[in-house]
Amino acid sequence: MTTLETQGLAAKNAERVLAAAGTAKKNAALEAIARSLAARQEEILSANALDLAEARNSGMRPALQDRLALDEGRIRGIVEGVRQVCALPDPIGTVTKMDQRPNGLVIGKRRVPLGVIGIIYEARPNVTVDAAALCLKSGNSVLLRGGREAFHSNKALISVMRDALEHVGLPRDCIALVEDTSRDSANELMHLTAYLDVLIPRGGTGLIRSVVENARVPVIQTGVGVCHVYVHAQADLDMAARILYNAKCSRPSVCNAAECLLVDRAVARDFLPMAWQLLQSRNVAIRGCPLTRDILGDFVTPASPADWDTEFGDYILAVKVVSGFEEAVDFISAHGTGHSEAIVTRDYFAAQRFLDTVDAAAVYVNASTRFTDGFEFGLGAEIGISTQKMHARGPMGLEELTSSKYIIYGTGQTR
């Protein structure tokens, strides 16, 4: 067996114990993890310092170095995150729809863990703990394959969590690190069908596309967001400008940020200068259609066809003037990624039709796309935002990490 197969088998065996462990035991493990992360923070920070030194030597961009860095405050945040997961209701064991059938069979649908979850992700070490805590609470074992840049940090964090599991009497192998951070290990993980029940990629477009295209293990596709704000002819233009500014500028690097503005021709000459007033305070670069350039001026870069399909993740906004509702909705259908889409309008029928017609995980009327998030939706912590339609769609909390089984109580029934 390869190292990964050995880890997969160990995770599968550990999961059988974890699935039977019950809420009290799982919460005790989460509490032990929270305590140990705080108590052993020196060890974690030293490991993180190694990663940071390597990052500086290899010339990593300062913004990425910042995402990688831990300090006392960030560790407090991570610990707080674990305690929040601990406080969430346990999704496992709930029986829905239990009923007695005419033949006397009592049939119920019980929520059970998915099994062994693989996660492939990039540099941020807080993901390591978030993901492990969510998997643990939902009764799943997890194989974490983080990036090379965070290797020492991840190793320290996972070692602390495995010790905590052992301390409360759960198998260490409920949480495991894939130490090989090469492309080979990612590939092997994508084909580990004997042990992995699902694979969740978290990271940039390239990573997610590679996993979706190559995996044989079932995948939950997360997070690529080419989100639109559509300013309808009947919009409150002040509200529209505030929503657009928020959707673009409050955190441009995340998947629920807006990448493209669509504006009805009837209001474009009024709206675009108003929007520009706000956007220029953050030096947002505009890539516009010809009419946008005509209205705003030559400082607008002409949009290339690729711009309509790009998740910029930066202070860049594509802008297109459309003839009306139909063109806007068709454009979103052609270029959206099924993540979050918003209309700004006063028109009741336009609002309802937008909700009905647009096919995305989250469809907004008169609000910023930035709300697509587990906490904001009231689901608690999330493991990612699904942009696919199967299994789960939108922010995925604990329930989305479960499956079900039918349990049937009989008294000798035959058919």
Nearer of residues 87 and 355 to a copy of itself, judged by Cβ: 355
Least distance in angstroms from the C-beta of 2 to a copy of itself: 20
Least distance in angstroms from the C-beta of 3 to a copy of itself: 23
Nearer of residues 39 and 106 to a copy of itself, judged by Cβ: 106
Beginning with the edge strand found earlier in the chain, give each strand of the sheet holding 227-231 in spatial order: 301-302, 285-288, 316-322, 258-264, 227-231, 340-344
Least distance in angstroms from the C-beta of 107 to a copy of itself: 6
CB atoms within 10 A of CB 411: 8
The answer to whether the CB of 337 falls within 8 A of the CB of 393 is no
Tell me the C-alpha distance between 196 and 315, whole Å. 38
Least distance in angstroms from the C-beta of 95 to a copy of itself: 11
Least distance in angstroms from the C-beta of 167 to a copy of itself: 25
Beginning with the edge strand found earlier in the chain, give each strand of the sheet holding 141-145 in spatial order: 175-177, 141-145, 116-121, 198-202
Tell me the C-alpha distance between 271 and 235, whole Å. 10
Least distance in angstroms from the C-beta of 271 to a copy of itself: 15
| 390-410 b/e (C-beta count within 10 Å ≥ 16 → b) | eebbbbbbbbbbbeeeeeeee
The two tokens of residue 254 are 């995340």
Least distance in angstroms from the C-beta of 260 to a copy of itself: 18
Q: Are strands 340-344 and 301-302 parallel, antiparallel or unpaired?
A: unpaired
Question: Contact residues for a copy of itself (CB under 8 A)?
Answer: 16, 20, 99, 101, 105, 107, 109-110, 112, 114-115, 197-198, 213, 216, 218, 220, 236, 239, 242-243, 245-247, 250, 351, 355-357, 359-368, 370-372, 376-378, 388-391, 393-394, 403-415
Nearer of residues 283 and 414 to a copy of itself, judged by Cβ: 414
Nearer of residues 181 and 250 to a copy of itself, judged by Cβ: 250
Three-point CA angle 185, 204, 322, nearest 5°: 150
Q: Tell me which amino acid residue 22 is.
A: G
Least distance in angstroms from the C-beta of 406 to a copy of itself: 4
Nearer of residues 86 and 215 to a copy of itself, judged by Cβ: 215
Tell me the C-alpha distance between 244 and 229, whole Å. 7
| 24-48 b/e (C-beta count within 10 Å ≥ 16 → b) | eebbbbbebbbbbbbebbeebbebb
What are phi and psi for residue 114, nearest 5 degrees? -70, -35
Nearer of residues 26 and 287 to a copy of itself, judged by Cβ: 26
What are phi and psi for residue 111, nearest 5 degrees? -80, 130
Least distance in angstroms from the C-beta of 268 to a copy of itself: 21
Nearer of residues 76 and 209 to a copy of itself, judged by Cβ: 209
Nearer of residues 20 and 39 to a copy of itself, judged by Cβ: 20
Least distance in angstroms from the C-beta of 111 to a copy of itself: 11
CB atoms within 10 A of CB 54: 15
Residue listed under structure tokens 């999704």: 91
Nearer of residues 16 and 56 to a copy of itself, judged by Cβ: 16
DSSP state of 145: E
Q: Which of 196, 215, 146 is nearest to 4 (CA)?
A: 196
Nearer of residues 101 and 265 to a copy of itself, judged by Cβ: 101
3-state DSSP assignment of residue 234: coil
